[in-house]
Every structure is written in structure tokens, then in C-alpha cells.
């Protein structure tokens, strides 16, 4: 069953067109990796789906309902949650307070279940977010999104600015989320990791989709060629 449908979406930043006629679908329970170089339009696309960026044209549908003109808070109540690039926590609030402030829908995700998935946060639950490491802050940002009990989880640049060993720890925790009932679209710069966690890969270049395929059918050379806009030899 299709949960998310994006139809001919156009997004702009002033005169700059960041997303150009993008269309794709995501099935219920699917994990899709959205990849592409910096400036490809990935973050703008996620923000448009979440309601944080108003598109210039096209439509966003959740479970068949047109949410294109809905504000972000209404989309959260329908089950769309975004983990933004840069995390954007409330720095003076504790870990637990950052989690509780996002509780929007009833479901399996509570403070306790989030702490079980991210055990590194358990001893930090009463610590201010400003005093956490980058990896701990990323875990809180993901946990905060989970507290809304989303049907669609949008993860923007999970590994950005984190040491590889920290990224490994975050993804080990994410394993308890990926493949569950929650549908996930994840923006990931690490091609190897993207191919491992996703069932399908969508590659963007200059605001357009240039490659869309099952992850199992892709090889690294094909992905790299699409990523950088290179022509493959005949």
C-alpha cells in the first residue's frame, strides 16, 4: 500500500529552483534512501514533505489525502515527523524534556521505549541537550521525532558531522526502527550505508531524480555515476 506519494513537486528558494518536477511513491513499511551531492535538493524535498517548505507546484499525498497546503503541525498530527539537518534541539531542556515536548500521537513510542532503543541516552536523561555530544544529540533528535509516533519518518543527514564510530552506534540503534511498521525516508551521504539500510534508493541531481531502483539491484559504480552526473561507458 502506498503511504507517501509525491507528484511533480517544484520547490524554490527565491529565484533558485531547488526541486524540479519530482515524483515518487513510498510504500507502507518501506525504507527509502535519498542520496545526492550537496545542493541536489534532498533537504528541500524532505522539508516540503514535512510542511516546513511551501512548494511552488505539485502535490504531496499521505495515504491518499492531499496535505500539500497543510501546515507542519497538522502533518505531525497525521503522522509525518522530520529529523532536521543540524538536529535543532532545545539546548536548555534536558534529554527527557526534549522528548516529552514532541509527544503528539498515541502509540508504541514513549520516553521509556525511546531510551530502550537509544540506551546511550539513559544516563543522560536529566542532562541539558547543550551538554551532549554530537552523537547523543542526534539520538535525541531521532527520539524526539519518534515520540510523535509517526507513520512516516523523515531522517535528514543522520551521519552529518559525526565520527564513523558514532555513526555506527546511531545506526545500530536505528536497526530497531528500520523495518518496523514505520515508513522511513533517509537522506544519507554515505553510499555504502545507504545501500545497506534501504530497500530502495532514489538519487537526485540538480533538483531532479536521476536514478530510482531497488537497492539490491544496484552496484556502486552505477550509483556513483548518477550521483555525480557521469555518463557510463557504453
Over range 100-123, report the average pLDDT.
91
Rg (CA), the chain: 17
Place of cell 526502527: 177
pTM of structure: 0.91
User: Sheet holding 16-27: strands in order across?
Assistant: 16-27, 2-13, 57-62, 65-66
**pLDDT tens per residue, range 20-51:** 999 999 999 999 999 999 899 999 999 999 99
CATH number for 2-228: choose from 3.40.50.300, 3.40.1410.10, 3.30.200.20, 2.40.50.140.
3.40.50.300
- Spell out the domain ranges in the chain: 2-228
- Backbone angle region of 168, left / alpha / beta, with phi > 0 → left and psi within -120 to 50 → alpha: alpha
The cell for 2 is 502506498
Over range 3-29, report the average pLDDT.
96
Poorest-pLDDT segment among 97-101, 189-193, 215-219: 189-193
- Mean pLDDT taken over the chain: 91
Q: Distance between terminal CA atoms of the chain? A: 37
233: pLDDT strictly greater than 50: no
**pLDDT tens per residue, range 178-211:** 766 789 999 988 888 888 889 999 999 999 999 9
Residue 52 per-residue DSSP state:
S
Residue 177 per-residue DSSP state:
T
Confidence category of residue 167, pLDDT binned at 50, 70, 90: confident
- How far is residue 153's CA from residue 136's CA, in Å, rounded to a whole number? 19
Confidence category of residue 18, pLDDT binned at 50, 70, 90: very high
Q: In the chain, at which residue ranges do the beta strands (DSSP E only) sit?
A: 2-13, 16-27, 31-35, 57-62, 65-66, 80-83, 152-156, 183-187, 200-205, 208-214
Amino acid at each position: 500500500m502506498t503511504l507517501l506519494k509525491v507528484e511533480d513537486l517544484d520547490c524554490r528558494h527565491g529565484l533558485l529552483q531547488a526541486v524540479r518536477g519530482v515524483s515518487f511513491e513510498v510504500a507502507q513499511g518501506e525504507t527509502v534512501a535519498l542520496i545526492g551531492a550537496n545542493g541536489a535538493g534532498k533537504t528541500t524535498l524532505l522539508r516540503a514533505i514535512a510542511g516546513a517548505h511551501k512548494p511552488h507546484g505539485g502535490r504531496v499525498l499521505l495515504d491518499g489525502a492531499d496535505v500539500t497546503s497543510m501546515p507542519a503541525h497538522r502533518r505531525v498530527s497525521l503522522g509525518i515527523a522530520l529529523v532536521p539537518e543540524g538536529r535543532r534541539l532545545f539546548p536548555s531542556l534536558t534529554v527527557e524534556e526534549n522528548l516529552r515536548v514532541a509527544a503528539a500521537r498515541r502509540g508504541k513510542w514513549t520516553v521509556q521505549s525511546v531510551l530502550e532503543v537509544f540506551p546511550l541516552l539513559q544516563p543522560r536523561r536529566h542532562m541539558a541537550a547543550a551538554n551532549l555530544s554530537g552523537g547523543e544529540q542526534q539520538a535525541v533528535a531521532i527520539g524526539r521525532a519518534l515520540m510523535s509516533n509517526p507513520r512516516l519518518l523523515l531522517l535528514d543527514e543522520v551521519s552529518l558531522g559525526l565520527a564513523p564510530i558514532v555513526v555506527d552506534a546511531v545506526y545500530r540503534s536505528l536497526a530497531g526502527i528500520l523495518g518496523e511498521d514505520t515508513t522511513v525516508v533517509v537522506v544519507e551521504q554515505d553510499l555504502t550505508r545507504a545501500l545497506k539500510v534501504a530497500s530502495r534508493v532514489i538519487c537526485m541531481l540538480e533538483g531532479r531524480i536521476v536514478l530510482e531502483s531497488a537497492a539490491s539491484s544496484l552496484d556502486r559504480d552505477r550509483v556513483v555515476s548518477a550521483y555525480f552526473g557521469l555518463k557510463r561507458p557504453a
